[in-house]
Amino acid sequence: MGRVRDLTGQANFQPFIKRLPQFFSAIRFQETVFALPFAYTGMILAADGFPTFYQFSWITVAMISARTFGMAFNRVADRHIDARNPRTVSRHLPSKRLRVSDLVILAAVAMGVFFAAAAMLNNLALALAPVAAVYLALYPFSKRFTWTANLLLGWALAIAPSAAWIGVRGSLDWEPVLLSVAVASWAASFDIIYHTQDHEFYSLDGLHSIALRFGAVAAFRWAKALDVIAVVALLVMGEWMGLSLPYYLGCVVSIGLLVAKYRLVSPTDMSRITIAFFRINAYISTTIFVATSVSILLD
């Protein structure tokens, strides 16, 4: 035991630069690709083309720092749940690869950077930054109280496109709200599916989810309905903003990817959840961003 404690202590006090991969892994930095393309979609729609490099840079910093804050805070808030869940017991806090103070400091720094980036954009962005931060900090607790937790997660990601629109224009209109509805529905859909695999643990631990409340089969119906809402919102937004053919081709590709998702996973077979969750979601957000960009450039 003494040897184990010594090794753990040495690991905890490694130079910060050597521990960076642990921080990136803890907050799943690679998953930034899920939300960032939708933020960029809101950005180019607001600018009706490419924004200034200044706006692009600070929007990127704001989105990455906001997500870093949210994920770091989430890991701290859920550390005891993660330690009890066989699927998550190997995460960085339960396995003691990082300390609670490590992620608290990371969250605090990320929040400061987020507020600074919002201030560099415009007054409305700065005024709403605390609202976004509070939401990102509170939604992880929702699974302790309500089965709507999966839906609330969707709205955490849905902040991105509307926030990017505000970052460019300094105001909020209904068009990016439609894009946020699409993102919220899409994100809630994959969160419902992802947490279906925790159905048994949630039941034993007194937590809440759509899968636990309605059953795994019904949860997949919820997920499919939300994906339909996401597609409809994207199509309505495209019509409203007068986007051209490439945008709708991107929507068609995204529909195909959503269909493929349900070929990979089912209520009785979650073995390919990694492919469905990581790859397909990244493909969808990137496809919509590229299609929107091409549509605007060719207009």
188: domain CATH number? 1.10.357.140
**Does residue 292 belong to any structural domain of this protein?**
yes
Check: CB of residue 81 under 8 Å from CB of residue 133. no
The answer to whether residue 150 sits within a structural domain is: yes
Residue 1 is assigned to a structural domain of this protein:
no
Mean pLDDT value of segment 82-96: 92
Question: What band does 166 get if pLDDT is binned at 50, 70 and 90?
Answer: very high
> Considering the chain, what is the average pLDDT of its residues?
90
90 in a domain, yes or no?
yes
Q: Is a pLDDT exceeding 50 seen at residue 200?
A: yes
What's the rounded Cα separation, in Å, for the pair 94 and 86? Answer: 11
Is 71 part of any domain?
Answer: yes
Nearest-5° angle of CA 167, CA 173, CA 175?
100
* Phi, psi torsion values for 88, nearest 5 degrees: -115, 5
Residue 260 has pLDDT above 60, yes or no: yes
**CA 132 to CA 135: how far, in whole Å?**
5
Answer whether residue 95 is part of any domain: yes
Asked whether residue 11 is assigned to any structural domain, the reply reads no
pLDDT given for residue 5 in this prediction:
45
Question: What average pLDDT does this structure show over 256-276?
Answer: 87
**How many domains, in total, are found in the chain?**
1
Lowest mean pLDDT across 34-43, 165-174, 270-279: 270-279
User: Is 7 within a domain?
Assistant: no
Q: Does the structure show a pLDDT above 70 at 15?
A: no
Report how far residue 87's alpha carbon sits from residue 144's, in angstroms, rounded to the nearest whole number. 18
State yes or no: pLDDT of 208 exceeds 60.
yes
Task: Write the pLDDT tens digit of every residue in 27-70.
Answer: 777 677 777 999 999 999 999 999 999 999 999 999 999 999 99
Assess contact for 261 and 242: CB atoms under 8 A: no
pLDDT greater than 90 at residue 188: yes
- Quote the pLDDT of residue 123: 97
Confidence grade of residue 14 (pLDDT, cut at 50, 70, 90): low
Q: Name the region of 52 (left: φ>0; alpha: ψ -120 to 50; beta: rest).
A: beta
Query: Residue 162's pLDDT is what?
Result: 97
pLDDT at 283 over 80: yes
Structural domain harbouring 45: 31-298
